[in-house]
Amino acid sequence: MDGNGHKLLLIQRDDLQRAELVDSLIHLGYSVVTCDDGEEGLNYFHGHTPEAVLLDMYLPSSDGREILKQLTDDASEVPVIAISRRKLMSDVVAALRHGACDYLLLPDSIKDTDILEHALQRAMAQGALKRENRAYRQKLENANRDLLESLTHLQKDQQAGRHVQSRMLPETPKIIGKYSFCHRILPSLYLSGDFIDYFLVGDRHAVFFIADVSGHGASSAFVTVILKNLFARKRSDYHHRHNSVIMSPAHMLERANSELLDMDIDKHVTMCVGVLNVDSGELLYSVAGHLPAPVMSVDGKAQYLECHDLPVGLFPDATYTEQQLFLPENAVLTLFSDGILEVLEPSGVRAKEEYLLEALGEGWKSADEVVNAFNLDQVTEAPDDIAVLVVSRV
């Protein structure tokens, strides 16, 4: 006896066979509720939800198949065992097609309860499994709904963050003295780890930088805020405290390196910083591990600028050097983040850099022209952020 008091609903006409079947079920340890016809059985089923149902396929005033269909269509997924006195294979097939979990042919006298017990145990196990699956399914649906809500909130936050980050960028194009500065940033996600800035310092110097923060998303975008703030502070120090750090690309990289290491945020940045005399065309610049290197195009020929030091935010003893050159009147300076290398067609970094150099010989004077030339707006799933900065003589 291992029925453990499980509640069964028996829908069968009232006769001696039903009484013997009820006695056998009680003997096996089940609690049995009996109903004489289908309508009465359905009413009880919907009001009490038993753990299993035994349904006679041949009721006096009901169509057993229709009752079976209603029972098995119910969302509670209670297992239903079809029972019958008739030994017709067509009845078995019809019952199983309508959702019965088993089919029992009742003998005239129930003496051996083993088959009955086995069928009920299997039905109970099936019912428990269905309820468990239903619970898991509900949990999954709830989790998916919660995840969708979280993703929606995250997407709104990311969109808001992208709007804030875009407001931090300088206007494009911007004329500073005799030079035009313009940029484009194409983020791989909502927020970008690439950043560009340029601004006038004093009467005749334009300071500019391009930065590529390691990683993606909000944490990398946060570092761009730090860099923006650092350059803004040093610009203010120059105007109000006569501190000339902002005029030295190497010193600015040293400050950026120190601040990132002090924050201990496990982020590093490749950068190129320049200070351009907008009257004379003299350029002072430093490159901190940035690839590809800045490209200067003059009269159809392009070349990479020299000087490659370590990225900022990795080594406390890193030092940075400065290079100086003169920009001819027809020179165009183009800077990229390394995301450009991910989308160029040639295979291999060297081939990509050669392709980039040859293409930039055209001397495009706006970031939009560069974006169009390399079809960057057509890239739907860029693996990395792409930033473009173009400096040219007006």
Q: Consecutive 10-residue runs of the chain (394 residues): their mean pLDDT?
A: 76 89 91 92 91 89 87 87 85 86 80 82 85 86 87 74 82 96 87 92 97 86 92 96 96 97 93 97 96 94 91 95 94 95 89 93 93 87 87 94
Please name every residue paired with 105 in a beta bridge, in sequence order, or none if there are none.
84
Nearest alpha carbon to residue 83 among 69, 68, 73, 70: 68
CA angle 35, 8, 31 (to 5 degrees): 100
The first and second tokens of residue 267, run together, are 């982020």
Please name every residue paired with 277 in a beta bridge, in sequence order, or none if there are none.
205
3-state secondary structure of 179: strand
CA angle 337, 338, 340 (to 5 degrees): 90
Looking up tokens 């003589």, which residue turns up?
393
Q: How far is CA 52 from CA 24, 126, 193, 271, in A?
A: 16, 10, 60, 71
Nearest alpha carbon to residue 267 among 157, 193, 192: 193
CA distance 36 to 144: 44
Cβ atoms of 82 and 100 within 8 Å: the answer is yes
Strands (E), 135-218: 174-176, 179-186, 194-201, 205-213
CA distance 390 to 63: 82
Cβ of 247: how many Cβ atoms within 10 Å? Answer: 17
Q: What is the pLDDT at residue 22?
A: 92
Q: What is the pLDDT at residue 1?
A: 47
- Residue 8 CA to chain centroid, in angstroms? 48
CA distance 44 to 21: 19
- Residue 345 CA to chain centroid, in angstroms? 27
Looking up tokens 């499994």, which residue turns up?
129
pTM of the model: 0.66
Nearest alpha carbon to residue 305 among 197, 215, 234, 391: 391
Cβ atoms of 383 and 377 within 8 Å: the answer is no
Please name every residue paired with 273 in a beta bridge, in sequence order, or none if there are none.
209, 286
Cα dihedral: 51, 57, 59, 63 (round 10): 100
Cβ atoms of 269 and 214 within 8 Å: the answer is yes
